[in-house]
Amino acid sequence: MATSGIDVQGLPLAGIVSEVQGPVVVIRCERLPPLRQSLCTVLDGEHYVFEVHQHLDRHHLRAVTLHTTRGLSRGMPVYDLGTPLHVPVSRGCLGRVLNVFGEPVDDGPPVEAEEYRNVHAPPPPLEQSYGTSTVLETGIKVIDLLCPFARGGKTGLFGGAGVGKTVLIMEFMHAVTALHRGVSVFGGVGERLREGHEIWHELDRTGVLPDATLVFGQMDESPGVRFRVGLTALTYAEYLRDTLHTEVLLLLDNVFRFVQAGSEVSSLLGRMPATVGYQPTLGTEVAELEDRISSTAAGAVTSVQAVYVPADDMTDPAVSTILSHLDTTVILSRSQAGQGIYPAVDPLASGSKLMDRHVLGDRHYAVAEGVREHLARYHELEDIISMVGLEELSAADRQVVLRARKLQRYLSQPFHVTAGHSGIAGVSVPLTDTLADCDAFLAGRFDDVPEDQCYMRASMNRTTQ
């Protein structure tokens, strides 16, 4: 990918290309520019940007390219752009699809810049940051009941391939726009071209696109692009927070690919790998991204991050590092998806730091605990039921199992973003309705309702909203 709009006339000469090693370029300089400085060169009228990552000696540095290196050769002049990577920001970014440089990839006009912002900006000072003790309602029953989102907090969607992480992220974007009149920034880190195309069309079809900014670093691009596109998306989220003073939802799909890109860059720079082959700077790189996601008096940035779990192993070092920064963890289960329960949230493994009686209130806390207890008891009895049958259980256990099965199906929900594929209209359920229904299930008021009537619906007293 080449970037446009750079005029090298008048830019100081930084040095010349000495070596090209895949996405890494060694540049000979008389005077070394600082780390993270942006450099560029010109090839066939196109401008290619590098980012300084390593000083080798007094006259050589290693830079990571933010484009393909095809066509680069030794001896090419390299110019100093004078700043780190920065992007143009304005309210015109809403409704647009951009790349890591803030340039449009939707065939639209360039974003008119009100200002330029450095993608490596520091987090806000501690005294200007706000805590996360308020629930952000999403209209998704299982989320609001058992693992509520913290307004201004960080949520992780953990799961293997094909369990519905991206679909759930798109539904969150719809919820923030519809319920909170907020805006969204979607950061596609290492996104497949097909997935990006589908996301753009789905958001356009559901009317969310005018209130969203999409920033993509595609899977076939340089690891430098995949490594920095998350920071570009975060920069746009910070700008919208500071100027619109509204609810901003930052969605990153997929943070694991950010870690993979960092591992590629680390190996190309010659660093020795650490645990399980990950880069030794893993903790620092993840913290640099996560600590900037914060809320101030101007507004709240609530982050939802999809995290691929390699081999469904939650103890993987990358997964553990990301997990340590989160307020809410939503674990997507392959067994739930196999039963047709969507969203495929594991209600027992998922949790939130807001699951506290003093934050949620006595009623919400009691209902959530009652639902967990029923589902946990059903999980304990599943093996026994498969061996001897439901009829061999005690009357009390049979009652718990039947109610738990209905609760499990009730916590499924049709989404707005999948309505075109499933043929079922999407629903958004207020938390008050979810609490009332679950309370009624626990009290036995729906014991006579067949299980199939609890599946894929809104609240029990209505089917649409």
> If phi over 0 gives left and psi between -120 and 50 gives alpha, with beta otherwise, what is residue 245?
left
Task: Determine, yes or no, domain membership for 463.
Answer: no
Cβ of 42: how many Cβ atoms within 10 Å? 15
**Residue 132 near residue 152, CB atoms below 8 Å:** yes
Residues 136 and 249 in one domain: yes
Q: Which CATH number belongs to the domain containing residue 430 in this structure?
A: 1.10.1140.10
154 in catalytic set:
no
- Select which of 181, 192, 205, 445 is catalytic: 192
Residues 257 and 382 in one domain: no
Domain of residue 67 covers 3-84
Residues 325 and 373 in one domain: no
Residues 187 and 248 in one domain: yes
Q: Write down which residue in 31, 62, 84 finishes a domain.
A: 84
Q: Write down which residue in 84, 99, 124 finishes a domain.
A: 84
Token pair 């490594």 is at which residue?
227
Positions in the chain whose pLDDT score sits under 70 = 1-8, 462-465
Q: What is the model's pLDDT at position 462?
A: 63
112 in catalytic set:
no
Q: What is the model's pLDDT at position 6?
A: 66
- Three-state DSSP string of the chain: CCECCCCCCCCCEEEEEEEEECCEEEEEECCCCCCCEEEEEEECCEEEEEEEEEECCCCEEEEEECCCCCCCCCCCEEEEEEEECEEEECHHHCCCEECCCCCECCCCCCCCCCEEEECCCCCCCHHHCECCCCEECCCCHHHHHHCCEECCCEEEEEECCCCCHHHHHHHHHHHHHHHHCCEEEEEEEEECHHHHHHHHHHHHHCCCHHHEEEEEEECCCCHHHHHHHHHHHHHHHHHHHHHHCCEEEEEEECHHHHHHHHHHHHHHCCCCCCHHHCCCCHHHHHHHHHCCCCEECCEEEEEEEEEECHHHCCCCHHHHHHHCCCCEEEEECHHHHHCCCCCCECCCCCEECCCCHHHHCHHHHHHHHHHHHHHHHHHHHHHHHHHHCHHHCCHHHHHHHHHHHHHHHHCCCCCHHHHHHHCCCCCCCCHHHHHHHHHHHHHCCCCCCCHHHHCCCCCCCCCCC
Residues 146 and 118 in one domain: yes
Residues 39 and 122 in one domain: no
Bond preceding residue 430 cis, omega within 30 of 0: no
- Number of structural domains, the chain? 3
Task: Determine, yes or no, domain membership for 459.
Answer: no
Q: Write down which residue in 302, 321, 352 finishes a domain.
A: 352
- Select which of 141, 165, 228, 257 is catalytic: 165
Residues 224 and 317 in one domain: yes
Q: What is the model's pLDDT at position 128?
A: 82
Q: What is the model's pLDDT at position 4?
A: 52
- Select which of 51, 137, 171, 191 is catalytic: 191
Characterize 247-258 residue by residue with b for buried, 16 or more Cβ atoms within 10 angstroms of its Cβ, and e for exposed: bbbbbbbbbbbb
Q: Which CATH number belongs to the domain containing residue 54 in this structure?
A: 2.40.10.170
The pTM of the whole model exceeds 0.85: yes
36 in catalytic set:
no
